[in-house]
Structure formats: C-alpha cells, structure tokens
Amino acid sequence: MIVTLTPNPSLDRTVTLPGPLLRGAVNRLDSVTVEPGGKGVNVARVLAASGQQATALVPAAPGDPLLKAIESLGLAGLTCRAVPVAGMARINTAVTEPDGTTTKLNESGAGLSEAEIAAIEGALSEELRLASDGRSWAVLSGSLPPGAPVDWYVRLVGLLRPLGVRIAVDTSDAPLAALA
C-alpha cells in the first residue's frame, strides 16, 4: 500500500485561449478543464492508473470541490481520505495561449491550525498502521500550506519511521532545507 499526503492540495484549472492573451481586456476562452492536483494527489493518480493501490490523504473542508474532482476520476485502486479542515483547497489556474505560452497563477492555499495539523498526522499514522506490511510507502509531497511549520516534513518522518514504512519526500525551498 502507498499512502500519499498532499498538505496543500489544489484544483488545477487550465483555460485555453483562442489567441494571445490581451492584458487589460476581456478574453474569451476556447476551453476550460478542472482536475484535482497537488503533488501527492498526482502521485496517487499515476500509481492507481498503473494498477497500484494508493490512498491520497488530503486536508479538505466538507463539501470541498476537490473531493468531487478526485472521486470523478473513477480510478480503480485510488482511495481518497479527507481530513476535515476549515479551508477549501486552493485553485491554481494555467492560462494557455495558441503558441504554447503558459502562464500559471497559483494560490498559496488555506492555512492549517495546530489541531488540523495534528489530525492530519493522526490520519496518516492510522492509514499506514492499517496497511503496514513491511512494504508500505508514505509519499509526503508538495508545498506546505501557509502557517505550517517549515519542519513539518521532518516531524512527519520522525512520526512514521517507527512504523517501518518506506518514506519518500518531494518538496522544495525551506521544507527541503529542513530535511537536510
């Protein structure tokens, strides 16, 4: 079993323009797609698509459109476990022009309270204890939401090591430096 944690999940919205972006003007769109995102969610999607069992653990407010988007993927082998939090998933928007130019506008995400962080840690530990067979993996992936401790991934690794699971971390900037 592989459990991914995406502490700062997103809805990834891609809008395609019929011509170059006209700054300061109304631009009509050719198409719009919306998919669940965040590095850990993407890892879980790829694993499930390749026939592996994966659980995507995400903080999500009740009724968050992110949950419906993950469910709508309909991938066998992909389970989503939402840890209830107050804030909704961030929305990242990619604007694609006909010449291939892509402009990304990424929200920073909703902050997490200490109680929400503790609930996420508990849910992650629980998922991995249930699946612990000596071959389980925890994938901790992506940016941290505003207000999360910079060393949160370090704390999570310390929490998970005694469970005997393999751990992969994919992050950048200060959270990556904290792991060094």
CATH number, domain containing residue 117: 3.40.1190.20
pTM for the whole thing? Answer: 0.92
So what's the pLDDT on residue 103?
98
pLDDT at 179: 95
74 confidence band (pLDDT: 50, 70, 90):
confident
In this predicted model, which residue has the larger pLDDT, 27 or 135? 27
29 in a domain, yes or no? Answer: no
Share of the chain above pLDDT 70, in %: 98
Residue 64 lies in a domain: yes
Q: Determine, yes or no, domain membership for 99.
A: no
* 3-class state of residue 68 by DSSP: helix
User: What's the pLDDT tens digit per position in 108-125?
Assistant: 999 999 999 999 999 999
Per the structure, how many domains does the chain have?
Answer: 1
Return the sign of the alpha-carbon dihedral for residues 112, 116, 72, 125.
Answer: positive
**Position 130 in a domain:** yes
Question: Could you count the other beta carbons within 10 Å of the beta carbon of residue 4?
Answer: 28
For residue 63, tell me if it sits in a domain. Answer: yes
Say what the pLDDT of residue 55 is: 95
User: Does residue 102 sit within a domain?
Assistant: no
Query: What average pLDDT does the chain have?
Result: 95
153 in a domain, yes or no? yes
Q: Could you tell me the residue range of the domain that residue 63 belongs to?
A: 2-9+38-88+110-179
Mean pLDDT of 129-146: 88
Burial of 95 (0-12, 13-18, 19+ CB in 10 A): middle
